[in-house]
Structure 1
Amino acid sequence: MARKKTASNQDELLNEFQALVRDTESLLQQSANLAGDQGEALRDQIRNSLDRARSTLHSAEEAVMERGKAAVDATEGYVQTHPWQSISIAAGVGMLLGMLITKR
């Protein structure tokens, strides 16, 4: 249950971060109308902020991918070392799901 909540929170965080990047890009395009040194300074700040945001997002995506890969590797290792237990667990889960589906 805690893992699902963590994964959901990570997904929400990534979605919000992507929205932030899109909004910043939109702001950058809209700031093109500003003239002079102030406008250019603002655009530079927005570009730097956007670059940092993209870098952070990329790092977060890599971390999530690595954790997912580690979970898959751990599951494969368990199934290979305990094949009969894995089959029993899968059969039990299948039976439970079958019972729940037939009751509806």
Structure 2
Amino acid sequence: MSEQMTAANKEKLVSDLKVVIADTEELLRATTGMAGEKVGELRERLGVRLRDAKDRMLDLEQALVDKTKAAARATDDFVHDQPWKAVGVAAALGLALGVLIGRR
């Protein structure tokens, strides 16, 4: 995956993967009673791919959590190292948002 993918895109991807996994599990449950060689092979392949997708989703989710924690730590370090700059940035953002909201 690209390192440039935003956190929102990653969260959306994790959410979409969870939906696909849930749908696949439901499909596997629904076809439990069906007989036939092709159905059996399909169920086996779906089972393998489902396990792989779950593993990838967990890895992606963990990477997202790790990056979020790292960003929070970096922000915390910046605020502790340069508190007046942080106050200035927050005030500037507040002013800009106030002006934007005030125009509506």
**Normalising TM by the smaller chain, what interval?**
0.7 to 0.9
Q: 1:103 deviation in Å?
A: 2.3
Aligned pairs for 1:10-21 (under 5 A) are: 10-21=10-21
TM-score by length of 1: 0.81
Alignment RMSD: 2.3
Structure 1 unmatched ranges of 5 or more:
none
Q: What are the ranges of 5 or more consecutive residues in structure 2 without an aligned counterpart?
A: none
Kindly state the Cα deviation for residue 56 of structure 1 after the two structures are TM-superposed: 0.9
Note the C-alpha offset of 1:7: 2.4
Q: Distance in 1 between matches of 2:55 and 2:4?
A: 26
Count of aligned residue pairs for this structure pair = 102
Cα distance in 2 for residues equivalent to 1:90 and 1:12: 28
**AA in 2 matched with 1:8:** A
Higher helix proportion: 1
- Quick one: which amino acid aligns to residue 44 of structure 1? E
TM-score (norm 2): 0.81
Is residue 15 of structure 2 the alignment partner of residue 7 of structure 1?
Answer: no
- What is the identity percentage for the equivalent residue pairs of Structure 1 and Structure 2? 32
2:89 corresponds in structure 1 to 89
C-alpha distance in structure 1 between counterparts of 2:5 and 2:102, whole Å: 29
Query: C-alpha distance in 2, partners of 1:55/1:78?
Result: 35
Say which structure, 1 or 2, has more relative contact order (CA 8 Å, 6+ apart): 2
